[in-house]
């Protein structure tokens, strides 16, 4: 999942502003108790999302892919007291874990979880969002981006996670459907003149996009 040297990555974490103790406890709990814990964004990416939210003074965030609620809580910590993270997932079991940790946090009240297929749920939302984080199933990534662009506020930012997919995106002959879906969204962003995109080699790759 890491595309940079692990010691450099660790050094960057140590020198950056990091998520709270509750977020660290949630990360630790997930690593010790939940399958596929490598899906968590980790501290460096959480710090980057926090920096971006602060920079644009974001109030409303939409997240595709809650899992155990780590990224949602890390983002909520960087919103004002009346800020909101709407986070979408199909798995009520992992979201149950998320809710336990959110309840222990002074920022948990800013998070609203909606269970169901994200592509259906997003159609029911009647607000715009200053920041959108795409981190659910990879095969629907382009659908999530297209849906996200419709509800993105004029100066909002979309961040798409795992866009380097452990470097597999470099293989044009890769037949894996997740790899192909990520290559597809990366090509869409880079060829689309209506959006401005920057792909950063942070953790597993993160694409930042503005209209």
Ligand X SMILES: C[S@@+](CC[C@H](N)C(=O)[O-])C[C@H]1O[C@@H](n2cnc3c(N)ncnc32)[C@H](O)[C@@H]1O
Interatomic CA distance for residues 128 and 44, integer angstroms: 27
Verify binding: residue 135, ligand X, rule CB under 6 A: yes
Which region among 60-68, 75-83, 100-108, 150-158 touches ligand X (by CB under 6 A)?
Answer: 60-68
- And the tokens for 202? 């942070």
Q: Which is nearer to ligand X, 117 or 196 (CB)?
A: 117
Verify binding: residue 137, ligand X, rule CB under 6 A: yes
Which region among 47-55, 67-75, 100-108, 164-172 touches ligand X (by CB under 6 A)?
Answer: 67-75
Interatomic CA distance for residues 168 and 178, integer angstroms: 10
Verify binding: residue 39, ligand X, rule CB under 6 A: yes
* Total binding residues toward ligand X, as defined by CB under 6 A: 18
Interatomic CA distance for residues 96 and 193, integer angstroms: 41
* Residue whose tokens read 């950063």: 200
Verify binding: residue 204, ligand X, rule CB under 6 A: no
- And the tokens for 75? 């983002």
x-or-dash string of contact with ligand X, 104-133, rule CB under 6 A: -------------xx---------------
Contact (Cβ atoms closer than 8 angstroms) between residue 66 and residue 97? no
Verify binding: residue 96, ligand X, rule CB under 6 A: no
Verify binding: residue 91, ligand X, rule CB under 6 A: yes
Q: Which of 23, 41, 58, 185 is in the footprint of ligand X by CB under 6 A? A: 41
Q: CB 191 → ligand X: shortest distance, Å?
A: 25
* Residue whose tokens read 């597809």: 184
Which region among 10-18, 83-91, 105-113, 201-209 touches ligand X (by CB under 6 A)?
Answer: 83-91
Strands 152-161 and 206-210: antiparallel
Which region among 15-23, 84-92, 171-179, 201-209 touches ligand X (by CB under 6 A)?
Answer: 84-92
Contact (Cβ atoms closer than 8 angstroms) between residue 153 and residue 128? yes
Contact (Cβ atoms closer than 8 angstroms) between residue 116 and residue 93? no
Q: Strand, coil or helix: what is 157?
A: strand
In angstroms, the Cα distances linking 121 to 29, 86, 118, 127, 144 are 28, 11, 5, 13, 11
Q: Which is nearer to ligand X, 26 or 209 (CB)?
A: 26
Interacting residues toward ligand X by CB under 6 A: 39-41, 65-67, 70-71, 88-91, 94, 117-118, 135-137
């Amino acid at each position: 999942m890491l595309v940079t040297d692990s010691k450099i990555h660790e050094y960057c974490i140590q020198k950056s502003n990091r998520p709270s103790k509750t977020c660290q406890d949630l990360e630790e709990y997930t690593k010790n108790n939940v399958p596929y814990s490598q899906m968590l964004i980790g501290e460096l990416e959480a710090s980057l999302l926090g920096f971006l939210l602060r920079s644009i003074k974001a109030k409303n965030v939409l997240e595709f892919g809650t899992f155990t609620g780590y990224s949602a809580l890390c983002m909520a910590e960087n919103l004002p007291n009346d800020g909101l993270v709407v986070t979408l997932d199909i798995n009520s079991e992992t979201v149950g874990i998320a809710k336990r940790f959110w309840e222990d946090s002074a920022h948990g009240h800013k998070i609203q979880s909606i269970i169901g297929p994200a592509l259906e749920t997003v159609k029911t939302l009647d607000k715009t969002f200053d920041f959108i984080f795409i981190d659910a199933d990879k095969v629907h990534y382009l659908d999530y981006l297209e849906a996200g662009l419709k509800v993105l506020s004029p100066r909002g930012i979309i961040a798409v996670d795992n866009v380097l997919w452990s470097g597999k995106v470099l293989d044009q002959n890769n037949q894996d459907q997740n790899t192909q879906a990520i290559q597809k969204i990366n090509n869409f962003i880079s060829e689309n003149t209506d959006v401005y995109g920057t792909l950063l080699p942070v953790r597993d790759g993160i694409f930042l996009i503005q209209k």
